[in-house]
Structures are given as C-alpha cells and as structure tokens.
Amino acid sequence: DGWELEIPLPNKEKPKPSSTKPPKPKPAGEAGGTKPSSKPKPSTNTTLSIEQKLAKLQSAVTALNRQLAREVPPKILTSLNPETVRMMIDKKIITEEEWMALNPPQGYHWEVEKGKVKLVKNDGTTPTPLPAPSEPKPSPKPAPAPKPKPEPSPKPAPTPKPKPEPTPKPTPTPVDEKKVEGIAESNFKSFLSSNQIPDIAGKEKEFYNAFNFHVTSIFKDGFFGTSPFSEFTEPADHDRNLVLLQKQLKEALKLYERKVQEGAKGSSKFLGIFGDTIESAGKKVEQAKARFLKQWKEFVPVYDKVKAKVEVAKSDIIRMNNEIKYSKKKYEELKSDASNYKEVQRLAKLISDNEKQIPKEQAKVDAFAKMQAVIQR
C-alpha cells in the first residue's frame, strides 16, 4: 500500500492506433481493378424488301444470260436450281452470302420465264407478285454495357453426355442422265413428228447458213426492205429464234424427266423455295411447246411465200433461155440487112437483158434449195 513507481524502458515505442478508414478502391484499368467492357459493334445485317430482292436477282439472271448468249451455241437460263445458282456464284455474278439473302417470303418461290424473274405462289396458281413490305426501321444503338463484376472462380464443366446418333436417312437413287437424255429426245421427236415439224435444233449450223441475212435478203420486198426471215434467226432473240425455241423445249423435257426419275425428291423444292417440282417442270414443257408452235405458225406463211417466188423464178429461167436461143437465131438472119435495124436492135437488147437476169433468178433457186434441205417442206 502506498505509491507505485513506473520506470519507462528505453527504445520502446508506443503502439499506434489502428486506422478505422477503409482502403480507397483502385480506379478501373489499374492492377486489381476491373477493365471496362468494349462496346458491341452495331449489327450490319439488313433486311431487303421484296422489290430489292427481285431487282438483285433479276440483275444476276440478266448478267448470266448475257454470258450464256455469247457461247456457241447460245444458251439461256430457264430455271433457278442448285446447278444454275452455283454457276452464278462460280462466275462471280453473286456471292453465296448475297444468294442466301435473296430468299422469298413463306409460301412463294422464284421462277424464271423468258429471262424474267417472277415471284410465284407455291400452290401452282397464276403467278402473282407479292406486295413489297414496308422497309424495316433501323434498330436503335445499344446502350453501353455496365461494368461487369469480378467473375467467381469457374466451376468445373460437367461431363457432357454422349448424343444419340441420328438415324441415317436412306440414300436417294441417283438419276440416270443417259436415260433422261434418251427419253427426252424420244418425246421431242414425237412432238415434232405429230406436228410435221423438222428438227431444226439438230441442224443448227445448216439452219444459220441457209437463212443467213446476206443470202435471204435477195427475197426482200423493195429496195429498202430486209430479209423476210430476220425475226426467226436473230441469235439473241429467245422468244422468236426457231433454233433457240426448240432447244428450250428439249431442256424442259429433260428437266421434267429428271424430276420424274427423282420420284419423291422431285416433288419438293430445294430448301422449300428454289428449283422445280414434277408439276412445275411439266408446266414448263407445255409453255415451251406453246411458244415454239406460235412462232412456227408465223414462220410457215413467210416460207411458203418465198417458195412461190422461187417457182416463178424457175419458170422465168426456162422462158428466158428459150427467148435467148430464138433471138440469137433471128438476129443472125437479119443483121446483114440494114433495113432491119429496128428488129436487130430489139433482139440484141432482149438477149442482153435476159443474160443479165438469169443469174439473179438462179441465185434465188439455189438459196431456197439450202432452206428446203433444212425445213423439208
């Protein structure tokens, strides 16, 4: 009991009071902080209207037809199928991405008729253009994403369960192209025979040589006229050129036979949109027949008119040769007597005129002989 003496020890520091202030958070971007997420790029996908798709597809088909028309022999695109689409892609007319963006609306498909692309209903009714929908509004720009919280340690991924193997689909029987060619050719010959029409497509070179403008222009009407066969021989006219119309029919017959051989597969379209079915291929055959028969009925009267002119030319050649023979004999009898000068002058002119005209008439006969060898009429 009493006073307590406290002696301080040397070099002994008093403990500092602990700070109660929380540590300041580090700014974003420094070590230990969370980096801000980058803004998402705006979407570049755009939806085309029906009119825009139709215009782009028509441009591609027209470009391909221009290239095919320069080939020998000339060709034309008659349908949109995997082969012709691949041809446009290979020729760099369109890309695969552009092609996939040209899909038609549900319940419709694209068809090509006379080089024109049409939007057609799938139920086989008369093709009716679908009204173009309103242009889609551009989507607003996305708001900046909030700063993500630190992610927890990733949990081990669960062991994936093995997926059941899909049931293999039966492999379709491949189409026998030789059989397709044979049946289509037989049906083509039968059509020509029943209508008494020659196989012009099988004599393409002979046809163009016989109906060449420089040859057939001798049958023109008047000095400023043109060849009466011009509209039937224009190489790029797929609606009136007889050779091209017959080729279109042959291709349509092949397409139909190919779809028939495909059976169940031939009754549906590629991706449900593109290509042909048995029904659409059959319609193309009927349309090709109708187009050719229409042009053939216009060709026959022109051909028969030229044939009649050639018959007259043959008669004129016989008559003029007889006149030359008689006039030369008479000329020799009268030329020595000057009092017969008028008759001698007339006979000399008649002989000269006939000798100039006979080669012209003979040219008509020779030109028509080449035509007749092709047309066989």
Neighbours of 45 (CB within 10 A): 7
Neighbours of 266 (CB within 10 A): 21
CB 257 within 8 A of CB 184: yes
Q: What tens digit of pLDDT does each residue of 328-341 get? A: 999 999 999 999 99
pLDDT at residue 365 tops 80: yes
Q: What tens digit of pLDDT does each residue of 262-295 get? A: 875 545 544 344 567 889 999 999 999 999 999 9
Model pLDDT, residue 29 = 44
Q: What tens digit of pLDDT does each residue of 71-123 get? A: 877 788 888 888 888 888 998 888 988 888 888 888 888 888 888 888 888 77
Model pLDDT, residue 140 = 53
Q: What are 110's strand-pairing partners?
A: 119
Name the nearest CA neighbour of 110 among 280, 358, 338: 280
Q: Report CA 300 to chain centroid distance, whole Å.
A: 29
CB 90 within 8 A of CB 132: no
pLDDT at residue 126 tops 80: no
How confident is the model over 121-150, as a mean pLDDT? 56
CB 235 within 8 A of CB 288: no
Q: What are 117's strand-pairing partners?
A: 112
Q: Which long-range contacts (CB under 8 A, 24 or more apart) does 258-265 make?
A: 258/175, 258/177, 258/180, 261/175, 261/176, 261/179, 261/180, 262/172, 262/175, 263/173, 265/172
Model pLDDT, residue 46 = 64
φ, ψ dihedrals at 136, nearest 5° = -70, 145
C-alpha to C-alpha distance for 230 and 216, rounded to whole angstroms = 9
Most confidently modeled range among 32-36, 133-137, 373-377: 373-377
Distances (CA, A) of 61 to 80, 93, 126, 272, 338: 9, 9, 22, 20, 79
pLDDT at residue 131 tops 70: no
Helix, coil or strand: residue 120: strand
Model pLDDT, residue 169 = 58
Most confidently modeled range among 10-14, 237-241, 270-274: 237-241
What pLDDT band is residue 206 in, cutting at 50, 70 and 90?
very high
Where on the phi/psi map is residue 30: left (φ > 0), alpha (ψ -120 to 50), or beta? beta
Most confidently modeled range among 26-35, 230-239, 329-338: 329-338
Helix, coil or strand: residue 68: helix
Model pLDDT, residue 156 = 63
Distances (CA, A) of 333 to 159, 328, 344, 350: 124, 9, 9, 16
pLDDT at residue 127 tops 70: no
Distances (CA, A) of 194 to 24, 142, 187: 99, 69, 11
Instruction: Give percent above pLDDT 70 in the chain.
Output: 71
pLDDT at residue 39 tops 80: no
How confident is the model over 154-181, as a mean pLDDT? 70
Residue where the block lists tokens 């008559």:
319
Name the nearest CA neighbour of 78 among 102, 110, 121: 110
Cα distance from N-terminal residue to C-terminal residue, the chain? 155
Four-point Cα dihedral 291, 248, 281, 289, nearest 10: 30
